[in-house]
Amino acid sequence: GAGVSQSPSNKVTEKGKDVELRCDPISGHTALYWYRQSLGQGLEFLIYFQGNSAPDKSGLPSDRFSAERTGGSVSTLTIQRTQQEDSAVYLCASNTRGGQVETQYFGPGTRLLVL
Amino acid sequence: AQSVTQPDIHITVSEGASLELRCNYSYGATPYLFWYVQSPGQGLQLLLKYFSGDTLVQGIKGFEAEFKRSQSSFNLRKPSVHWSDAAEYFCASAGGTSYGKLTFGQGTILTVHP
């Protein structure tokens, strides 16, 4: 079946603009994760969704970052008033229940460049 | 807090040579450990994982890794490297939450010479 998909693949924006990044998890996967991959910080956890539970937002770097998951499927990561340090690859992953030993399946990522 | 260290930023090997990528973790209890590979422009693909039992785990593409509690290590090995193995490799751990939030190492870039 189809894997995790993310859109857009690439996004170039100007400093101060808002951006929305989309993630479509694998069908039937109830757990969804966002990570950020940047040159300076490596791969960092951002946020986790599981079913109807409150998300774990502990990795979001500032209040400019937010995410939602509608209908338990598609997720959107929003960055408001983008800064140059937000330039990174944003990766989405999903798995069936979010258990610790479950494999997380990653999408190809969205490469964000803030000018 | 958990941390994962990959001491080697970049490794170069010749095709056919053996490979070992190092990974050290820091966690009070036994963590769940993973190795992922990322090819240019691609997402992360799981190579193998360890959570209990046999400390030598086999993965895809001929990779294996050995968990050594005494050394807090989970090194990745392959007996004979192929040119297609050139990629970036990430060691990761999970634990301390119920859902497997991953903590990644900084990654090791593998270059394979013909």
Residue position matching structure tokens 């990766």: A91
Distance of residue A35 Cα from the nearest chain B Cα, in angstroms: 9
Q: Which of B43, B90, B97 sits opposite A107 (nearest CB)?
A: B43
Which pLDDT belongs to residue B98?
64
Q: Which residues sit opposite A36 in a β-bridge? A: A44, A90
Chain B: closest CA distance from residue A78 (Å) = 20
A contacts of B101 (beta carbons < 8 Å): 33, 45, 48, 56, 59
pLDDT of B40 = 83
How many whole angstroms separate alpha carbon A15 and alpha carbon A37?
Answer: 19
Alpha carbons within 13 A on the beta-carbon side of B98: 7
- Characterize the bridge pairing of strands B108-113 and B10-14: parallel
Given CB atoms, is B39 within the 8 Å cutoff of chain A? no
Q: How far apart are CA A114 and CA B12, in angstroms?
A: 33
CA distance A91 to chain B (A): 7
Q: Measure the CA–CA gap between B104 and A57, rounded to whole angstroms.
A: 18
Mean pLDDT of B22-44: 88
pLDDT digits (tens, 9 = 90+) for B78-91: 999 999 999 999 99
**Mean pLDDT value across chain B:** 92
Q: Which residue does chain A place closest to B94, by CA atoms?
A: A100
Interchain pair B99, A99: CB under 8 A: yes
Residue B8: exposed, middle, or buried by beta-carbon count in 10 A (0-12, 13-18, 19+)?
Answer: middle
- Listed by number, the residues of chain A in 25-84 with a beta carbon closer than 8 Å to a beta carbon of chain B are 31, 33, 35, 42-45, 48, 50, 56, 59
HEC readout, B72-112: CEEEEEECCCCHHHCEEEEEEEECCCCCCCCEECCCEEEEE
CA B67: distance to chain centroid? Answer: 11
Banded model confidence at residue B101, pLDDT cuts 50, 70, 90 = confident
Contact state of A106 with B94 under an 8 Å Cβ cutoff = no
> What is the per-residue pLDDT across B45-85, written as a single tens digit (0 to 9) for each?
999 999 888 899 999 999 999 999 999 999 999 999 999 99
Report the gap between the CA of A87 and the closest CA in chain B (Å).
Answer: 16
CB contact under 8 A, A102 and B103: no
What is residue A40's predicted lDDT score, i.e. its pLDDT?
76
Mutate to test the interface with A, among B32, B44, B46, B52 (most CBs of A within 10 A): B44
Q: In this predicted model, which residue has the larger pLDDT, B42 or B46?
A: B46
Residue A1: what pLDDT?
Answer: 56
For each of chain A's 115 residues, which pLDDT tens digit applies? 589 999 999 999 999 999 999 999 999 898 999 999 998 788 999 999 988 888 999 999 999 999 999 887 999 999 999 999 999 999 999 998 777 678 899 999 999 999 9
